[in-house]
Amino acid sequence: MGSVRLLDGAEIRRAVTRIAHEILERNKGAQSLVLVGIAARGDDLARRLAEEIERIEGARVPVGALDITFYRDDIGMRAEAPEVHETRIDFDINGKTVVLVDDVLFSGRTIRAAMDALVDFGRPAAIQLAVLVDRGHRELPIRADFVGKNAPTRKDEDVRVALIETDGEDAVYVEERP
């Protein structure tokens, strides 16, 4: 099975730092900003972005985790009910600018589900999207506001993001699907 490393640890770190700067620039600071990471790796990335934002701006932004399983459009199309992760948004998102954070942007269906989930928590002033890797092949009219790396891929390849918090290393791989 072929596997090519797309990003190493240092490159991920630089991408996160750059995205943190871009988020602050676009939103003219960190006031009324909240980060919501999509489980399972988006929430780790959201925490890293929050640390970077705190380092740059000296302000702590709220970080939440969102599981989109119950909002998927393919429930019942799989053999097993999809695995469920934790959702934890213990702050008010009404009137806030919510930056959704995910590891890979692909079909756009996860983000569609995440936006549906998010509006059940309140009415944000704006929703923006930050992703570590945009691999193309969108099936919905969705684009990212902040991208770590644009990576043209074939549809039959997998993009696998490994993060120290869950996988013990920082790396992004493009893998041949077995």
Partner 1 sequence: MNKHLLSINDVSAEDIVRILDVAESFREVGTRVIKKVPALRGRTVVNLFYENSTRTRISFELAAKRLSADVINFTTSGTSVAKGESLKDTALTLQAMGADAIVIRHSSSGSPYTLTRWVRGSVLNAGDGTHEHPTQALLDLYTIREKLGRFEGLRVAICGDVLHSRVARSLSFALVKMGADVTLVGPPTLIPPDAPAWGVHVSFDIDEVLPKIDVCYLLRVQRERQRQQYVPSVREYARLFGLTRERVGLLPEGALIMHPGPMNRGVEIDSDVADLPQAVMEEQVTNGIAIRMSLLYLLLGGGSEGAVADG
Contact footprint for partner 1 (CB under 8 A): 67, 69-72, 74-82, 84-88, 104-110, 116-117, 120-122, 135, 137
- Shortest distance (Å) from residue 18 CB to partner 1: 23
- Shortest distance (Å) from residue 122 CB to partner 1: 8
- Shortest distance (Å) from residue 95 CB to partner 1: 15
Of 119 and 125, which CB lies nearer to partner 1 in the complex structure?
Answer: 119
* CA atoms of 54 and 39, how far apart (whole Å): 22
Of 1 and 79, which CB lies nearer to partner 1 in the complex structure?
Answer: 79
Of 52 and 134, which CB lies nearer to partner 1 in the complex structure?
Answer: 134
* CA atoms of 95 and 43, how far apart (whole Å): 21
* CA atoms of 69 and 111, how far apart (whole Å): 12
> Measuring CA to CA, how many Å separate 23 from each of 17, 32, 61, 67, 132?
10, 12, 12, 23, 13
Of 21 and 122, which CB lies nearer to partner 1 in the complex structure?
Answer: 122
Question: What residues form DSSP beta bridges with 38?
Answer: 66
* CA atoms of 74 and 36, how far apart (whole Å): 23
- Shortest distance (Å) from residue 24 CB to partner 1: 27
